[in-house]
Amino acid sequence: MFLQPAVVALLGKGLALTIALTVITSVLATCLGVLVGLGRLQGRRWLSVPAAVFVETFRNIPALVLVVFFAFALPNAFAPPLRRALFFDNPITHALAALTGLLAPWYLLGGALGLTLNTAAYIAELFRAGVGTVAREHVDAARSMGASWGVVYRKLLIPGGLHAAHPAITSRLIHNMKNTALLSFVSVPDFYGAVLTAISRSFQAIEFLLLAAAVYLVLSLGMSAGLQAAARKLFPTPRRPA
């Protein structure tokens, strides 16, 4: 039996870290993506141009490159004393080390930052496209009734854009969950990292990789069902009159 108690514990910790990473990076990427998407919709160039640069930069750099850059390369841009204070020896990394047991928590934070920026860039464009489906007549009607632009965005454009883009955003967030496996390349013991550790100890690659595939499939299907349920709650379909 390849699933010994110690291996099960290792995989369980990795799975918990993968789920936590998925939740945190998905929430942050969605919020940031909506803000950047709103920036791209503005007529003010000082907002739209930086938003466009953000999207084109982080959407066109592979997620793995971003993960490795923020985890490994960015700290090396600073002198050793400042590097230690900023990335490895401060209250945030100490608290994260106590919570996760990681010896170098910055690798987790840097990898999560790379995933968040990459996913946010995609969501910004998906959200912007979703806002484009909101009928101009609805916006004009709201403005003619005295609604401010703030109210129009809060009550009409943001909900309408999220509703229209929800299927595409769901696919992107599931892709983000699968991308958490990339953090194993920067020494983060997520689920895939735990699988690699188990393989190195047992040399049973087929069994553990099949297990990994099954777990990621279950996570993807569960995440899809959860996001669809959330969409039904947030964007209920109006009932047709009898």
Taking the chain, what is the end-to-end CA distance rounded to the nearest angstrom? 60
Could you tell me if residue 135 is inside a domain? Answer: yes
C-alpha angle with apex 175: 213 to 158, nearest 5 degrees? 150
In a domain, residue 35? The reply is yes
Q: Which residues contact 130 (CB under 8 A, 6 or more apart)?
A: 160, 161, 162, 163, 164, 165, 166, 168
Residue 67 inside a domain? The answer is: yes
In the block, tokens 């039904």 appear at 232
Long-range contacts of 197-201 (CB under 8 A, 24+ apart): 197/10, 198/7, 198/10, 198/11, 201/7
Q: What is the pLDDT of residue 241?
A: 54
User: Residue 49 domain-assigned?
Assistant: yes
DSSP codes, 50-76: HHHHHHHHHHHS-HHHHHHIIIIIGGG
Q: Kindly give the parts of the chain with pLDDT less than 50.
A: 242
The dihedral through the CA atoms of 225, 219, 168, 124 has a sign that is positive
**Cα separation of 33 and 134, whole Å?**
18
- Looking at residue 227, its amino acid is L
How far apart, in Å, are the Cα atoms of 59 and each of 124, 159, 180?
Answer: 10, 24, 16
Q: In terms of C-beta density within 10 A (0-12 exposed, 13-18 middle, 19 or more buried), how is residue 128 classed?
A: buried
Tens digits of residue pLDDT in 27-82? 999 999 999 999 888 878 888 899 999 999 999 999 999 999 999 999 999 999 99
Q: Are 235 and 159 in contact (CB under 8 A)?
A: yes
Q: What is the pLDDT of residue 199?
A: 92
User: For residue 239, is it within any domain?
Assistant: no
Q: How far is CA 81 from the centre of its chain?
A: 31
In sequence order, what are the residues at sequence separation of 6 or more whose Cβ sits closer than 8 angstroms to the Cβ of residue 218?
none
Number of domains in the chain: 1
Q: Residue 46 is part of a domain; what is its CATH number?
A: 1.10.3720.10
Residue 64 forms part of a structural domain: yes
- CA neighbours closer than 13 Å in the CB half-sphere of residue 124: 28
Q: Per the domain annotation, does 241 fall within a domain?
A: no
Q: In which domain, by residue range, is 181 found?
A: 5-234
Residue 220 belongs to some domain of the structure: yes
Which residue carries 């959860």 as its tokens?
226
pTM exceeds 0.85: yes
CB contact set of 107 (below 8 Å; sequence gap of 6+): 71, 72, 183, 186, 187, 188
Query: How is residue 139 written in tokens?
Result: 């916006």
